Amino acid sequence: LNYLANDPEISKILNLEIGRQVNNLELIASENFVSLAVLAATGSVLTNKYAEGYPGKRYYGGCEYVDMAEELARERLKKLFGAEYVNVQPHSGSQANMAVFMALLNPGDKILGLSLDQGGHLTHGSPVNFSGQIYNAVSYTLSKETKLLDYNLIEDIAKKEKPKLIVAGASAYSRDWDYSKFREIADKVGAFLMCDMAHPAGLIAKGLLNNPLPYCDVVTSTTHKTLRGPRGGVILIGKDKENPMGIKTVKGDRLKLMSEIFDGMVMPGIQGGPLMHVIMAKAVAFGEALQDSFEIYAKQVISNAKTLAAELMALGYEVVSGGTDNHLMLIDLTNKNISGKKAENALGAAGMTVNKNMIPFDTKSPFVTSGIRIGTPAVTTRGMKENEMKIIASFIDRAIKNVENEEELNNIKSEVKELCSKFPLYPELING
């Protein structure tokens, strides 16, 4: 941090952000705190290196060491999920998805994903995203009654729409996915099946949720959510499927075929030089996720989410679908007569960061919303457990009951700070 002292404007910004992260409760479901080792790799001299291409086949000289970093990231990622093929170069989850779509589809082809307002991601076919602009995007919804995936409904829609690609996975769904059912549906209509496991990847890695790789033609993920790595994306293909691209006529080396199609679409298809510092940081994070201690972490993430959901329900909050199997929950605030936007602001003023979120079949706009999304990956990284979840539930409840009461929101903020101080974040970094 001292290196930035010569630039006071930047130092100020950095210190403010450090203070925010240290003194607030980070409850955004898609965020986490990386280890100092991941931070070090992300801030390393590998940022200086151009390495267009892949290990052993670069367009630039001097790549012998960054090749080693990328090979390590690939091998560790394969081991983590039981993959036969991986690509660790996508700069983000969105770019991983873009590479897959462009590799498997032609412009105008039909894709079927969970719509944004039901919990899907922008890249699953939203009209404001490339996925909804280049492709003919149709969507499935959750069950109106249970707010759960309804496989009969998805099958009916798939049979009617005959998509070329079906997307499983979401940004705001608190339950597990039955990928074997998705596979059956995809096979019935002759569609590719892709899973975007960005949110629960870290929990899947430790076997706590279903693994999509054995059932899907291709799987994408981000690396910075439950997986607790640097910001980035990856593409994976499992070992079990014989003909992942459905190209029945192509003979020969299946692995070579996969790497030609997907590697070629990531680079030169949609990206130039890979972020080698980030790829090394991915390798570090995958190494951490392979350790037994990560299983303890992942189990605690789920246990914390279940406790927080149960406590909030006991306080009269409606948790969409009645609970959670993973790291997140959606709170429907309709019965509290407050919008997601107002709740997000009140919680922010009280030192808790969440995001407003549409609930399934929401009647409010995405800028207002009827709900908030809450996740436990980051607070669990700080070492918080079930007891702290109970305290956090009471903080949330008090803030929502006092949206207009600045004094009370300030009181909660002080108590949040006090709680955070018992679970120090990056103490080595901050205490020099």
Site residues for ligand PLP per CB under 6 A: 30, 92-94, 121, 123, 169-171, 196, 198-199, 222, 233
Minimum CB distance to ligand PLP smaller for 125 or for 351: 125
To the question of whether residue 72 is assigned a binding role by annotation, the answer is no
Q: Which residue is nearest to ligand PLP (CB)?
A: 93
Minimum CB distance to ligand PLP smaller for 222 or for 300: 222
| Phi, psi (rounded to 5 degrees) for 261 | -70, -50
Minimum CB distance to ligand PLP smaller for 231 or for 417: 231
Minimum distance between the CB of residue 212 and ligand PLP, rounded to whole angstroms? 12
Minimum distance between the CB of residue 403 and ligand PLP, rounded to whole angstroms? 27
To the question of whether residue 121 is assigned a binding role by annotation, the answer is yes
To the question of whether residue 120 is assigned a binding role by annotation, the answer is yes
The catalytic residue positions are: 50, 52, 196, 222, 225, 231
Q: What angle do CA 69, 243, 195 make, to 5 degrees?
A: 65
Largest Cα–Cα distance of the chain, in whole Å?
Answer: 70
Minimum distance between the CB of residue 199 and ligand PLP, rounded to whole angstroms? 5
To the question of whether residue 122 is assigned a binding role by annotation, the answer is yes
Minimum CB distance to ligand PLP smaller for 171 or for 307: 171
| Distance separating alpha carbons of residues 292 and 154, to the nearest angstrom | 37
Minimum distance between the CB of residue 77 and ligand PLP, rounded to whole angstroms? 16
To the question of whether residue 367 is assigned a binding role by annotation, the answer is yes
Q: Are 89 and 262 in contact (CB under 8 A)?
A: no
Which residues, at least 6 apart from 294, have a Cβ–Cβ distance to it below 8 Å? Answer: 202, 205, 206, 228, 288
To the question of whether residue 421 is assigned a binding role by annotation, the answer is no
Minimum CB distance to ligand PLP smaller for 168 or for 208: 168
To the question of whether residue 33 is assigned a binding role by annotation, the answer is no
| Distance separating alpha carbons of residues 376 and 26, to the nearest angstrom | 8
Minimum distance between the CB of residue 260 and ligand PLP, rounded to whole angstroms? 24
User: Given CA atoms 316, 321, 326, 329 in this order, what sign does their dihedral have?
Assistant: negative
Minimum CB distance to ligand PLP smaller for 233 or for 274: 233
Enumerate the known binding-site residues for (6S)-5,6,7,8-tetrahydrofolate. 116, 120-122, 365-367
Give binding residues as ranges: 116, 120-122, 365-367
